[in-house]
Every structure is written in C-alpha cells, then in structure tokens.
Chains A and B, each alone.
Chain A
Amino acid sequence: MKARLASWTGSLAVLAGLVALWWVASNAGWVSRVFLPTPEATIASLGEGLNLHGAGHGELLDFTRATVMRMLQGWLLASLFGVLLGAAIGVSPAVRSWVQPTLEFIRPLPASALLPLAISIFGLNPGMVLFVVAFGAMWPVLLATVHGFATVEPRLSEVARCLQMPRAAFVCKIGLPNAMPDILAGMRLSMTISLIVAVVGEMIASQSGLGQAILLAARAFRANDLFAGIVLLGLIGFASNALLGLAERRLLRWQQP
C-alpha cells in the first residue's frame, strides 16, 4: 500500500513537473506565445469555452458534444456492421478464402483517404463524415470477428455438426463467444480510429465540432483556444479508452479462470 502511494506521488510529481516546465517556458518567453500559450491562458480559455465563467458565449461544450456524437455514432455503426459482416464471412471457410485477400488489401488503406471520394459522391454534409467514420472504423472489428471465427476450436465445430446445430445457433452459441475477446480488442482500436476520422472529417468538410474549432483557432493564431481544444480531444480519447477497458474486463470475466 505504501509503495503504491509512493509510486502515485512520484508519478504525479513528474506530471506536475512537466506542467511547471510548460508554465516557466511560456511565461519566461523561452518559446513564442504564438504557439505555446501559458497554462493559465489555456485553463481560462477552457473555462470560458465550457461556460464555467465569463459571458456564456462559449461554444466548446457544443463542439465537444458534436464530436463525441459523431465518434460514437460512427463507432456503433462500425461495430454493428463489422460484427455482422465478419460473422457472415467468418462462419464459412469457403467464403473466408474468397474474401479475405480483398479485406487484407483494404485494411492498410488510410480511412481519411476515402474522404475525397466520399465528398465527391455525397457532397459536404454530416452524413458523409459519418459514413467515412463508420467505414474507416469498421475494419478492425470486421477483421477481428473473422479472425475470431477462424480460430474456433475444431472440436467445438465438430460437436456443433454432430448436434446438427443450425448455422444461426452456431454463430450465437459458439462463434461469437469465441470471437468476443478479438471483437472487443477490435472495437477498442475502432474507437480510436473513429475519433481520428471524425476530427479529420470536421477539419476538411467544415462540420461543426472540435476538429473545425482547433483548425479555425490555429488559423486565427488563438493558441489558447487551440490548446483548449487539444486538451478536450485528449480527454475524450482518454475517457473512451478507459471506459472500453472497463467494459472489456467486465464482459470477459467469464473467460478468466
């Protein structure tokens, strides 16, 4: 217990030291304030943007909500279609051997590279960004599901065949539980991708959200607003990752001995 406390205080001290370094560097003018605002200015900017104080014109709360919603919707769509398609492909070895090489080809393609194509097909609107977010974030889930189905213990498949289990029952009772750890790991990766693509989409397609907000802040040389946006995006990334980690541990409890 004492050792843990010591490690936490040490950890906190290093973080506080870095913030102190930031404070000194920006206040003493070691680094130009044009791109490194003081920590106080960043916090003030955050407070004003979130309407904690000031005149109440802050828009950061709305921007944050827009970005989080985009990310979550895209992620949910990606997870849904990833699992459905993955199960459809993974359940049959024949389909797998026909489709897998194509999947492996598309996998390394940057999701944001689809933005220009999506813009020219759908135009600049929120639906287009959502489509690209969902499409880009779908691959980790899809490939993880296919992989999870491919690694089902052969004896379990034999049992299913002996019991003349219908395919749907095989998917629900054997395939999906077996693929669960892979799927959850894929969903975690796909959450990260959702956030990234949502931010890039907001930057390019000028949809209101944190991505657009920080781009505009940088163009107007408002470094404190820019940093406030980066802090919020970091918090979103941290919170979503932590929540998914918790969910993963709970959902996979049955697997631990």
Chain B
Amino acid sequence: MDRILIDLIDITKSYDDQVILDNLNLSIRENEFLTLLGPSGCGKTTTLRIMGGFETPDSGQVIFDGEDITSLPPNKRNLNTVFQKYALFSHMTIAENIAFGLKIAKKTDTYIRDKIHYALKLVNLEGFGSRYPDSLSGGQQQRVAIARAIVNEPKVLLLDEPLGALDLKLRQDMQYELIRLKNELGITFIYVTHDQEEALTMSDTIIVMNQGYIQQMGTPEDIYNEPQNAFVADFIGESNILDGIMLEDKLVEILGVKFPCVDVGFGKNKPVDVVIRPEDIDLVDPSQGTMQGIVTHLIFKGVHYEMEVEANGFCWLVHSTDMSPVGQRVGLHVDPFDIQIMNKPESEDEEAVSIDE
C-alpha cells in the first residue's frame, strides 16, 4: 500500500491558450482507490487521459512503476480504462469484446475462454457472452466494459465517470460492486467523478480539483470534515460559508456575534472564512441560542428536514430530524468543534477558485 505506482511531475496541459492543468503534481500509491473529484472543466478527465496515454502533456513527466511513460502510446501502457459511455464494440458479441485485448496479447484459446468465463462471473453477467452490447442495459454494458478492462490484468484501472450515465439506484449498486471488485482484484483504481457522494463512498483517497489545481487531497473524512478552503467546503456536501473575524484563539465573530471555537494560531482580528455544516446547527429555544432567527422555508427530505433560517441578515441552511414550522422563532446553537475556520484565499488563483459554483 505504500509503494508509489504513478507519479505525475509538473504536468502542464493547455488547449488553444486555455490552461487545463497547471504544474500538477500527484503521486498515486499501489492498491489505492483514488478519486479525482471536481466540477466539469476542472482538469480531472485530462489528468486521467494523460495517465492513459490519450493526451500528451505540454510539459512534465508521467512516471509509471519507476519508468518514464510520458510519450508511450496507450497500447503500450500496462493500464486499462473504463470509459464514460462504455465504448463497447457494438459489432462484436460480449465475449468478443472481452477477448479483444487478450487476442492482441496472443493468449491461447483456452486461456481466453477461461478468462471470459471468469470475467463474466466477476461482473455477474454469466451467460451473456453471445449477446451484442445493444441488447444490454446501461448497467450491464458498464459491467462488460469493466470486465473487458480487467481481463488484461492491468496494474491500474482508470475509470472515467463510469457511472455517470446510470440512474440513481443502479449507480449505488454499482458503487458497491466496484468496491468489491477492487478488493477482489487488489489493483489500483483511479476514478474520476464530479459526484461527491460517489467519491466519499468509494475512495481511499480523494483529490479535489478545480481549474487545473489540486485543491485538497485526503481521506474522505478529512475532506468532508476539514475542508481546507471555501471551494472544497462548498463542493463537498452542503455548507454555510460565512465571512468571519478571528478575534483571538478559540473565538470567532460571525455576523456580529461571538462564537467559541477550537481553532488556534490565526492571530488576532484576522478575517477568515467560516464553514458550518447544516447538520451541525441545532435549533433550540430562542432564549438558549447564540443567535435568534425565523424559519422561512421547510422541505421534508426523507431522512431529515431541510430548513432555512433567517438570522442576522444571513440565510442559514439547517438539517435536522426535528421539524420547526415556517414562521417560528428559533435559537441557533453550534458546538465549538463544528465550526471550521479557514484562511481567506490570498493568491488570485485561489480567489477565482472560491467563487466557482
């Protein structure tokens, strides 16, 4: 789990003067489930395609297993890709699709037959070998695409938004399926998605990208609980992001009200960004709240209620299993460790990032 398998060094890529990736550095460890997460146009797919060999970086190097593969064509790389829209060969049967790479590798017929059988079993599609792709459902086609990739026993499987075209239920099933596969095969998965929930569910490591930069890299818990900037906070889950002033260690002023917090080392009277997750806000009796407000919206979401509370000129998003009707006066309470303090972006680039979405 420790060894670094892929290393991207100072990768820069631009199309028609538009910079997609700017000096990207990224190390991927063996046997990791790594997710590149970000909005469309953030450079995540380009990063994946550079690893797959479908794009050549303008500058920088791709090191794979200790070797520089920057200019190696895709067919010479020991990794396989699962494409967004499956990219199955429609004029071949499922079995022929799966056998495609093996035939090129000049495997024996028996070997190929066994592999097809094994792969179909692995993706729960036994008996589908003689059918054609267009007679299969989206989820089934996706599993064929995965089977076609993994029979070649690549060291790394690149997945480019593989579940994007599926409906919600199917997508959730496939998420578990992918985790199971990854554990069974014991290979590295590099996964690209813009769906933060998907990323949080499956990954060992998440890389949040925006406008060609890595915004944050960490475990799903780190990313969710400790977003390092407003962009990450905003992109991962729902948040209340406010301007605040760090008055002193462990005390922040938000909307003119002082909140105790746990963060230290920001200095005195320093402007900061404050993130408070909606589920971390407790609605209490007005007299007990740090701040008072009025419920303006109420939506039932199944697991919880989603409410908007107008308080001190800010519209707070609140998730709670207890319902407060619209128009009710409530008090807002936040535990000190649920207040996330972040430095204001300093560079222009970071500024641009934080406005997005």
Asked if A and B bind, the verdict is no
Write the residues of chain B forming the contact surface with A, with a CB cutoff of 8 angstroms: none
